[in-house]
Amino acid sequence: MRNIIFILLFVVAFSYTYAEFEFAGNIKNYKVFDNRIEFELTNSKFNLYVIDNNIIRFRFTNQKDFSLAPSYAITYPLPSKSKFSLNDQEDRLIIKTDELIINISKKPCRISIYDTNNNLLNQDEESFGVAFDNDEVRCFKKLFNDEKFYGLGEKTDGLLRNGKQYKLWNTDFPAYTSRSDELYQSIPFFIGIRNYKAYGIFFDNTYKSYFNFGASNNRFYWFGAEGGEMDYYFIYGPDIKRVISDYTKLTGRIHLPPLWSLGYQQSRYSYYPESLVRTIANTFRERKIPCDVIYFDIHYMDEYRVFTWNKERFPDPEKLLRDLKNLGFKVVTIIDPGVKVDSNYFVAQEGVKNNLFARYPDGTFYQGEVWPSWAYFPDFTKEATRTWWGEKIGGFLNQGVEGIWNDMNEPAVWGQNFPDIVLFDDNGFTASHKKIHNVYGLSMAKATYDGLRKYSNKRHFILTRAGFSGIQRYAAVWTGDNIANDEHLYLACTMSLNMGLSGVPFIGSDVGGFIGEPSDELIIRWYQLGAFTPFFRGHSAIDTRFREPYTFGDFVEPDIKRAIQLRYKLLPFWYNEFYNSTQTGLPIMRAMFVNYQYDENSYYHDAQYQFMIGENLLVAPVLNSYDKFKKLYLPAGRWYDWDENKVIDGGKWIIKEVPINKIPIFLKEGGIIPMQEVLNYVGEKNVDSLQFLIFPSAKSEYTFYEDDGISYDNENGKYSLTKFLIEQNSKSIKLSVEKIKNDYQSSVKKYNLKFVGIDKPRKINLNKKEIKNYSYEANTLMIDLDVSNFITLELIY
């Protein structure tokens, strides 16, 4: 009897647990529109939108209607008319575009996606599909044994996501480790790769969300959230580059930043008083260590009141900023969202008067404790708040500030948690903190960006700690409060690569580690990595020793200086790659498999500790302070070893000796790298000469971009593009140059061409006339040319 009762209780309990999940149901009917199909299911509503031939949006809700609130991430408009066909069969619907076949079974509604050759790309798990558990939404997908997963932005456990579960909830997590999960950024986008074919899924849901890539099961992977809709975009490649590019087409792409923001930036929590800032600036210049930016952390403010200055520490900030500008320094100030509760404080007064802060449901303004003690929090999801905040940003510009650093914008409060009942405007639709938390930092960045654009045609720099999909539209990102140890040197590489895979190209870490003390070897290796991350800033905590490059002594300073100088030498190359990213959305610092998708070696664990910058430059930084050798992979082809001035055949792993002053760098055959002389700061003088490092191949090309590096005139067409075309055979190497756009007058008058890895030519023709003025040594040819008199150069053998 007892056994029977136990079995009955077990069955009832199991039925109750299972019943908590309600699945999307069967298709009852549907309507076809020019750009979508709207379905009524037994348990939900389902809309399918054809965004493009390779991009399909799937949207489910168990509510009466879909939400009308706009997306925080998507900026790409739904086309008014899409090209697709629908075939209604007895048990299924078949929707076709020029690139995809979407097979939707009717009973129950389950989605399978194929390419036009009927290769299965992605499939709902047959028994589950889309499910609802009260407010929670989930989507279950079939898990294939040979599928790899990448993405989700700021994660600490390497690049591969298989067999793991993740939570996306913006969290202030100082001193995180390689096992930490939720951090400052939430990017609900991932890439699936199977049989070397790639697709992407962007889950457009801002609630606390989860992604399980086969953790503790071998049947399915799933993603879902604690509220909102099951709203996701499927993006087919099959190229990884196309997946990332189309994801950023949906969520927006980086705007070209000011050229100076690609230089070295110096920060500390905190630099004060004014005399210390002047000493640091003067010492950089005296020791000729290039630097463009000095940061002002929270101690420049009057008792942490944002948009104020501490008059004892900084009695005349406008004069200080003018003097720093004359030395070539740009000032970036931290701005936190917490507004001190103070009836005599103008920012608090205005925010209360105009109802610009987040509220409790009873109408009382929420107060959270953070740096200024009790503080209000601007409701950046409200247009009026963003406009007001932009005005405050404009006031700082008038004082001479060149950039804004958004910190503590997860939003962070002491005790970590906003009450979930706090309400926000949500662009007129009203939502609780549950929905807004993950997009608070994104909305603050938008307010900052819009303010800077409104009050100046001059490009300024924005840095943010928190963000969501689309943050690349507004700001650069750094990986938060890291630690000065070898583990975090590895993380500085892999986290930056993963943010690039997730659509955020302007990314880097606190060089040297924010918390703790780096060894001499560690700080050198970190600067060598930092010189090849898109965002390059040294930063340290208040309780650490001062870490400016010149503070480490004669053993360390020359190697740090050398790494920074290499960054400045390569600024034309970096700027060109940033321009390319504005056009394509592709990462600048790329995981190896982005460029070498069909090379199995590029997916190996060790390959995540090296990367490509753009298409042709491979960097294999030393990521352990005591390593004397570096294991690295060179893909098939010929590679130029930058340090040893020799050519190496690829398609193999090699082990390279790496003394403390060396950074393993390789140029792919066909690559062209523009360089300039090293300056102490961007704009120190006009650059009138560029060097192009050229490793010729049978045929390759490179398009070189130029503009003023300062204004937004480039967005009105004021820039130039120069196309370099290389053609090589057994008899000659021919380099042709063509101005394909010439709406910016460059200061460059001379090119120095440096051909590497070649034999000495029998003669050289410039514009079909022989010239004698060149040098050749150790497989390297050097030749200076007048830009205005250069059309073709031919090396004849």
Active site residues: 407, 410, 481
> Is the link from the previous residue into 273 a cis peptide, with omega within 30 of 0?
yes
* Spatial separation of the C-alpha atoms in residues 702 and 721, rounded to whole Å: 10
Crossing angle of helices 346-353 and 383-399, rounded to 10°? 160
* Spatial separation of the C-alpha atoms in residues 531 and 269, rounded to whole Å: 21
Neighbour-count burial for 273-312, b at 16+ CB within 10 Å, e otherwise: ebeebeebbeebbeeebbbbbbbbbbbbbbebbbbbbbee
- Among candidate residues 519, 526, 521, the one with its CA nearest the CA of residue 496: 526
> Is the link from the previous residue into 761 a cis peptide, with omega within 30 of 0?
no
* Spatial separation of the C-alpha atoms in residues 612 and 592, rounded to whole Å: 6
Residue 51: other Cβ atoms inside 10 A: 23
Q: Where are the beta strands (DSSP E) in 363-412?
A: 368-370, 373-376, 403-406
Gyration radius from the chain CA atoms? 28
Tokens of 348: 């608090």
- Coil, strand or helix: which one is 646? strand
Contact in structure between 350 and 342 (CB atoms under 8 Å):
no
* Spatial separation of the C-alpha atoms in residues 455 and 452, rounded to whole Å: 6
Crossing angle of helices 520-530 and 486-501, rounded to 10°? 10
In sequence order, the β-bridge partners of residue 702 are 724
Pairing of strands 537-538, 265-266: parallel
Q: What is the DSSP letter of 414?
A: T
* Spatial separation of the C-alpha atoms in residues 684 and 481, rounded to whole Å: 32
Angle at CA 321, nearest 5°, toward 320 and 327? 95
* Spatial separation of the C-alpha atoms in residues 119 and 621, rounded to whole Å: 39
Pairing of strands 537-538, 589-590: unpaired
- Coil, strand or helix: which one is 16? helix
* Spatial separation of the C-alpha atoms in residues 784 and 679, rounded to whole Å: 21
- The type of residue at 319 is K
Tokens of 715: 């967005």
> Is the link from the previous residue into 108 a cis peptide, with omega within 30 of 0?
yes
- Coil, strand or helix: which one is 126? coil
> Is the link from the previous residue into 411 a cis peptide, with omega within 30 of 0?
yes
In sequence order, the β-bridge partners of residue 722 are 704, 739
* Spatial separation of the C-alpha atoms in residues 158 and 150, rounded to whole Å: 9
Pairing of strands 476-478, 467-468: unpaired
